[in-house]
Chain A
Amino acid sequence: MQFIQQLINGVTIGSFYALVALGYTMVYGVLKMINFAHGDLFMWGAYLGLTGMTLLVGWATQGSAWMIAPVAILVILVVALTGVLVERVAYRPLRSAGRLAPIISALGVAFILESLARNLYGAKWQTYPSGVTPSGGLMLSGGVRIGIMQIAVLIASFVLMGALYLFVQRTRLGMAMRAVSLDANVSRLMGVDVDRIISVVFLIGPGLGGAAGLIVALYYGSFDFTLGWTFGLKAFIAAILGGIGNIPGAMLGGMLLGVVETLASGYISPQWKDVIAYIVLILILLFRPTGLLGERIAEKV
């Protein structure tokens, strides 16, 4: 059935959006700011993965699946550290500078990251070395096909999301993160090192984003520098859909957006793939701006 097929594809894409959305939502949770540069960090995951893969394949003269692990570790580490660096340099000094300044700074960082990528790698389409990712698949009943890659990325995505969820809910550090999201000042008074927590958030969020970049690049096999922009905006919308600042919300939002987008593309028209995200965004903001799982905040007079 075509519907099931679309559903599987939708969930796959949705998990990508979810991984990236988590980065947006976590940062907004603790800093109440939108990290416009997040999409570009995700994009750098794809580019760094490309470099890593190309090097490894060059050294081993042939692509193979085991290469993914070391490259993944490298990518996640570098992007995560970049995230921390960005926070330190571009956002921390602006904590008390009102709401406009962090937005501009974040956009500035986004431009820098984009320009770096465009100049270092070129504006053309990049392709990952072949042979790294398996291309086989399973045929399920009704003509529905699920690729091995799909299974692999779905597992990877869910493992990462599950790990994050456990981390946030079950560890002391995770609890501190939730506390800072609720009220940074009170947390500080309670002895939480807010700066450290924020750094951790910028480690995990971009780290997940970088991982997603690698996964997406492996899945599609090729990409160009507009990846950060298009994916980033949609993941961002997914985060809002679920309720910005809300971690399970980001996961739900990502999944939902991926499914809706794929279904619309399949049943209505491929052109709608791009527009549907914006329509979802406008609807959500009009009728339920705090998102599906978000909380209502009334302004105290």
Chain B
Amino acid sequence: MRQPKGGLRRTIILETLENLVRTRYQTNTLLVLALLVPAVCVPPVRAQDASPPKRVLVLMPFQVSRPGSVALLRGIEDGLRANYPAGVEMVTDSVAPVPPEPEGFAARMSDWLAYKYGHQHFDAIVSVINPPVPYAVALRDRFWPEVPILFVLQEEERQSFPQAVPRSTQVVTSLSNTQTLRSALDLFPQTEHLVYLEGSSDQDRHANELILRNIRQAFPQLDIIEVQGLSWEETKDRLRSIPDGSIVLIGSFLFDRNHRQLTNPQQAEELSPILGAPLIADSDVVVGKGVVGGSVLSVQGAGKVAGNQLAERR
């Protein structure tokens, strides 16, 4: 017959005490008792109420393998793990089209995301920069209406800035290009020309229009030389002959004219040796690859802020 646990303990204690009385080896018995009593009296360790790992869907506007994406995801994971010890399971996906953008890309991407993630459950959705915003909102509203959305690295100046999405939080970054340029001009006060490097995809074009508009407003005295619509090799040739008193700023450059995908670090590493002018960029993932640096966006730091925010929203 199976005895309850408390009864078994009492039996062990009673038998031990009986042995203590019976046997002449009282010293040994006392030692055994000293070892047994704490063992049977200490309550059994209760398994902690293990919370399931937090599942987060991260929608990126470009390839997940890009250095900026990696740094951002690492920051999000660090922030989550530091504040949510139960564990984090991150699912990342890119919603950016590879140029040329096919017809009806947005609707097909939305269907694809619904098909891919509709049967799963997520505790939060992270939308990085502006392009994934409509996809994230649509997914959440359709499948997980109570799940919060975290908009990361949003720029208020963009037209698609999510103004009033319920149950959402924005991790807003300032206009980092403008600040980066200002710090560069402090370091190189003799600068007369800004050579602005641009990619050729639609996403690049939209982003650069916004950036250039802000730069022109902030620094009207600067002569801006746009380098755009070129292949990567043509771009490098063009940059070999820039005028004195120039600085080169890497703008949004995801794809060249030939739809060749290039990361900012790659670009900086190739351009820096051939340039006769300082090279600057707006994020810290490029620092160390040939840019001077200055006031730049810490991508991993922004990711960590996002991760902390996610951990707090249980």
- B and A form one assembly: no
List chain A positions with a Cβ less than 8 A from chain B.
Answer: none
